[in-house]
Amino acid sequence: MARTVAVLIGSLRKASLNRKLAEALMARAAPELTFQVVELGDMPLYDPDLEDAGPPAAWTAFRRQIASADALLFVTPEYNRSVPAALKNALDVGSRPMGASVWNGKPGAIVTGSPGAVGGFGANHHLRQSLVFLNVPTMQQPEAYIGGLGKLFDDAGNVATEATGEFLTKIMAAFAAWIERNAAP
């Protein structure tokens, strides 16, 4: 069935390897999935006083984008063995006001990527911890810690390593099935 997936990328930089990874994942997905990359960089840090004063327009736009999606794909680097602040801020913004979280019940998947060998394991599991609280049923298998990102893409941005390309396809096939099992009817 046709589903829309909000894609949240934890890196803000233009030449982000994780953005390339997100693009490679989207390109490998089944045609019933439509993707919308939701930009995180222009949202003020979450502050309940701003909420009380009338939420910033960037928060409201973000909440609307997430609310209209059927599912969530997180693609992120690891910062200091945890979730980059921009992505954590997005989680916090979407979780409030209390009782109106836009995350609630939407199926999700996490792919972490790093030039290093560990593939963002720490960020992956810290993010998973927040998503438990936010009631996002998050795909468990295949686990997706993509190491060696610095060498993964050729100059045109294509995945240069066949085995990794196949793994990305496998992730997206499993995610499509996960969405069908867990999305709101």
Decide: 88 and 129 in contact? Cβ < 8 Å: no
Binding mask 79-98 for ligand FNR (x = CB under 6 A): xxx-----------------
DSSP bridge pairs for 37: 7
23 in contact with ligand FNR (CB under 6 A):
no
> Nearest approach, Cβ of 76 to ligand FNR (angstroms)?
8
Decide: 17 and 115 in contact? Cβ < 8 Å: yes
Place of tokens 């109106």: 100
Place of tokens 């409030």: 96
Fill in the amino acid letter for 104.
N
Q: Cα separation of 162 and 101, whole Å?
A: 39
Cβ proximity to ligand FNR: between 70 and 78 the closer is: 78
Place of tokens 């997430």: 66
Widest distance between CA atoms in the chain: 52
Cβ proximity to ligand FNR: between 95 and 114 the closer is: 114
Residues within window 103-162 making contact with ligand FNR, judged by CB under 6 A: 114-116, 118, 120
Binding mask 36-65 for ligand FNR (x = CB under 6 A): ------------------------------
* Of 60-68, 72-80, 137-145, 156-164: span binding ligand FNR (CB under 6 A): 72-80
Footprint of ligand FNR on this chain (CB under 6 A)?
11, 13, 16-18, 77-81, 114-116, 118, 120
